[in-house]
Amino acid sequence: MNTIIIDYRTTLQEISSLKKICSNIIKTKKHPILYNAIAGHPDIQVFSPYTSKAIIHKDAQYDFINSLTSQKIDVISTESSLGATYPKNILLNAVSLKDYYIAALEFTDRSIIPFIDDKICINVKQGYTKCSTAIVSNKALITSDKSIIKALDPYDIDVLEIPPGDIELPGLNYGFIGGTCGLISEGELAFFGSLDKFKYGKEIIKFLIKHDVKPIYLSDSHLIDRGSIIRL
């Protein structure tokens, strides 16, 4: 099973559920500069261009780096440091699919560029691209962000639009669908919480069935944004 990265605040119940399906689980460290709501979010601190490679923010703590390299993950540091506020906190916040790289391109850290030369790069206005987008497959995404939906319209990507809201993110009014989940294998999408407790869960379940993806609920609570699950 692939290594995954989760927020350091992930609950014991959620970790226990993950251990049943994934043997290598690495927790982030709190970033002292980021505001608390996202201080441990993997989709802010890490970008994985492909299996067993991680681009991490250049000021990462040694024990976090060691936790990756000990699992034979090849680690690269960003050229720039993460900043406290937007857009300096979105250097690594991007959606990477087999054929596409989706992000606010002007803010992408230069360390990523060599890994996306063979992809179609799609520029979006939403800088928190990964936060806002759940990856279902290389051809299917879920988002509430209309600017992302508009940017993807010309491409061969099936996008389910859901209304914003009804997702917990402590410290903010609400979270985003991309932060609630992550693919733990091809065809398995793990959620922090249950779609049965989500206002638009039925629509998502139908979309997952359409794309032959199984939802896995890590708890029976409402959906909570924990900054995605990053699979390495």
User: How many domains would you assign to the chain?
Assistant: 1
Could you give the strand order of the β-sheet that contains 188-191, starting from the edge strand earlier in sequence? 181-185, 188-191, 214-217
Side chain identity, residue 18: L
Instruction: Report the pLDDT value the prediction gives residue 154, as an integer from 0 to 100.
Output: 98
Q: Which residues contact 156 (CB under 8 A, 6 or more apart)?
A: 139
165: nearest Cα among 225, 124, 217? 225
pLDDT along the chain (232 residues), means of 10: 91 97 95 97 98 96 96 97 97 98 98 97 98 98 98 98 98 98 97 99 99 99 99 94
Of the candidates 129, 121, 117, the one whose C-alpha atom is nearest the C-alpha of residue 86 is: 129
Give the per-residue pLDDT at 52: 93
Domain CATH for 190: 3.75.10
Sign of CA dihedral 121, 127, 130, 134: negative
- Residue 48: the pLDDT is 98
On the 0-12 / 13-18 / 19+ scale of CB atoms within 10 A, 185 is: middle
Q: Give the pLDDT confidence score for residue 164 in this predicted structure.
A: 98
Predicted local confidence at residue 1, as pLDDT? 52
Three-state secondary-structure class, residue 196: helix
- What pLDDT is recorded for position 23? 85
Global pTM exceeds 0.95: yes
Cα–Cα distance, 7 to 193 (Å, whole number): 14
Give the pLDDT score at 31. 97
Nearest Cα to Cα of residue 143 among 207, 89, 100: 207
Nearest to 224 by CA among 190, 183, 188: 190
Q: The domain containing residue 13 runs over which residues?
A: 4-231
**In 10 A of CB 196, how many CB atoms?**
12
Tokens 């990462």 correspond to: 60
Tokens in use for 106? 């002007």
